[in-house]
Structure 1
Amino acid sequence: MNPRPTMEDVAARAGVSRALVSIVYRNVPGASDETRARVFAVGDELGYRPDHRARLLGSRQRTRLIGVAFDVRYPFHGDLVEALYPAAESLGYSLTLSAVTGSRREAAAVQSLLDYRCESLVLIGPTSPSSALTALAESQPTVVIARKVRAAGVHVVRTDDASGSRLAVEYLLSLGHTRIAHVDGARAPGAAERRTAYVHTMRRAGLTPVVIPGGLTEAAGTEAAHRLPPDVTAVAAFNDACAIGLLHTLRAGGRRVPEDVSIIGYDDSTPSRLDHIQLSTIAQNADRLASAALSLATCQDRESPQEVITSPDLLPRKTTA
């Protein structure tokens, strides 16, 4: 594998100094139009790409970068990232992304954003303890999306999870279902609120709650399908990914959806809208969440952290009847 071309390589090929190459790529005065053209041509020929992080680290000017940490395993996080881009651009900012994966912890993702000198951080569904978020906010403006958290100095933007869970159960009740199960989200952000609202709504209707262990992934939905009591006729899943895993597994086992079992998810993630899925779901509005988060991330008031709560929407599709 060939080594990555350096600024020194460009300077040598173009017959100029390294300092002059730096001037050209930083777009500051000090080089003629002819020299700029030659340097860029050589750079393109060599495949040179400037190290913007090094430039930012050496600058005392504002970066106008907003760092975003998200988990690649969850489709709705991707939807939020997509919505954050236009929201940032409308305010004159750019985004720097850092992913949480199965092998990369949240702390590493956040540290990477700090290394880029981001002016503020947006953390999507973080799992770090409140104390860690408080410590982070002491040095960096911090906004949390999609998690109910009380942490000093931290702005919060989230959907009303309790209201969304009630919407799901009340909708299934309106369809005539009385044996309604909830596939839990374990310790995920929002899981406790959704689980509690489900239980309260069922009990208010005089019905027995059925909570099944679950999680945030399709695999969790698959495992939940094997635990589903045979008399259950409807399921409110923690999120869309879990609901889709449940859907595929039930159909593979011979149970019809929605004729035998109705399923409703939560998020309105991109996969839920696919033609072969058409999952009924509770929608979190990614555009509203992103816009509110970016407004808080770019505000100057760090002394009065705010909590913005958006309302969820019921989206009936083809998996409920």
Structure 2
Amino acid sequence: MNNPGPRNSPPTRRPTLYDVATQAGVSPSLVSLFLKDPGRISKKRRDAVQQAISELGYRPSRAATTLASSRTKSIGLVIDDYRNLWFVDLLRGMESVLSDLGYQVMLADSRPGENRIKEATDGLLAMHVDALVLAAEPSEAMLSGTWVPTVVAGWRNGIPEGADLITNDDDNGGSMAANHLLELGHVRIGHLSGSDGASAHRRAGFLRAVETAGVDPVVSKSTGTSEEDGYAAAVWLLDHHPDTTAVFAANDTMALGAFAALKARGLSVPDDVSVIGYDNSPLAKSRYLDLTSIDNRSDLVGVDAAHRLLARIEDPALLPERKLIEPALVLRGTTSIP
């Protein structure tokens, strides 16, 4: 037998389809048929091929599959920052639909900056992904559209031509956060905002709710949305408005920065200042932070994005759609009466 190496020692090369055929005592064409449609092979031969695959540790080549097909069975996902964990549920939702269909998600981190976003997207397109999900601010060059089906996940300052938009209703979510704090009795409320599209919608909803209630809010200048940005914005807020009793952060990562700023002032959460975040990310769910947050239902955004891309792959003539998903308030231990 032409085994790739002794069974009890590390293999000297990657096992091939021909090695599987030799090990199983069948033809290479039958192994190929097994990989495409195992139901067309007798149980005896199917079991023999499966046993050979397991023993050899054989993995089919995606590159070879691509050469035989116009599709790579891969979806590109561009995110804005690995440090902001909101995308975890988005990715989980996508994979819950795509994995069983043999698709894999290829992740690229763009970080802030137009060139980085374009580089990340171009890198995925160079790998011939079948479709794209943009969970980051598109660059100016990308607004003319891409040649693959594209879904924008979450509000952005610009939507590429021909792309679908599937997003949480951030305007309503911002109002939810404000109304929760108002119902608790807070009237000295500060908002830590960002400069991206989602932050703009959350800020608009927040302002609408507090102004309707006759409360004068304080909004930090629009910056980035990292933990460091949250810390700086909270420091500014506490310096200029020390009577603040509640803080609404544009996302959970910024809320973490606010925690640090409050701790540096000797203030406790929620006894001195209530804090509410947005995204209901793994940070918010941790028992240590126990952060009240607006759930942007990233999992459902991911599920719907995957279904929409599959539909666009099958029928490229479909017109782009926009869909809003309702957010939800998740109460934890960081908000209380003033």
Q: Tell me the TM-score normalised to structure 2 length.
A: 0.77
Aligned to 2:85: 75
SS at match of 2:323: strand
Change (3 A) 1:59 1:261: same
Residue 211 of structure 2 corresponds to residue 203 of structure 1: yes
Change (3 A) 1:15 1:204: closer
Change (3 A) 1:21 1:215: farther
| 1:166 aligns with one of 175, 185, 190 | 175
SS at match of 1:246: helix
Provide, for residues 285-313 of structure 1, a one-character-per-residue CA deviation record: whole Å limited to 9, x for no partner. 12211121111101125441000100111
Residue 125 of structure 2 corresponds to residue 123 of structure 1: no
Aligned to 2:319: 304
Aligned to 1:319: 334
Distance 2:323 2:271 in 1: 39
Aligned to 1:261: 273
Shift of residue 247, structure 1, vs aligned partner: 1.4
> What letter is aligned with 1:88?
L
Provide, for residues 21-79 of structure 1, a one-character-per-residue CA deviation record: whole Å limited to 9, x for no partner. 99968958xxxx8x9799969965xxx87653x32452334333222222422201122
Shift of residue 245, structure 1, vs aligned partner: 1.7
Q: Tell me the TM-score normalised to structure 1 length.
A: 0.81
Q: How many residue pairs end up in the alignment?
A: 306
| 1:246 aligns with one of 258, 282, 302 | 258
Aligned to 1:215: 224
| 1:193 aligns with one of 185, 195, 201 | 201
Aligned to 1:99: 108
RMSD value, Cα:
3.4
Provide, for residues 154-205 of structure 1, a one-character-per-residue CA deviation record: whole Å limited to 9, x for no partner. 011001111100111111111111110110112x231111222222322222
Distance 1:307 1:233 in 2: 37
Moved over 3 A (4+): 4-8, 20-28, 35-44, 48-51, 101-104, 148-151
Report if the CA contact (8 A) 2:252-2:279 is conserved. Answer: yes
Distance 1:164 1:114 in 2: 33
Change (3 A) 1:167 1:41: closer
Percent of aligned pairs with the same residue?
Answer: 30
Distance 2:237 2:161 in 1: 41
Gaps of 5+ in 1: none
Report if the CA contact (8 A) 1:155-1:305 is conserved. Answer: yes
Change (3 A) 1:192 1:38: closer
Tell me whether 237-246 or 217-226 shows the greater mean CA deviation: 217-226
Distance 1:101 1:238 in 2: 20
Distance 1:36 1:313 in 2: 49
Gaps of 5+ in 2: 1-11, 37-44
Distance 2:226 2:32 in 1: 44
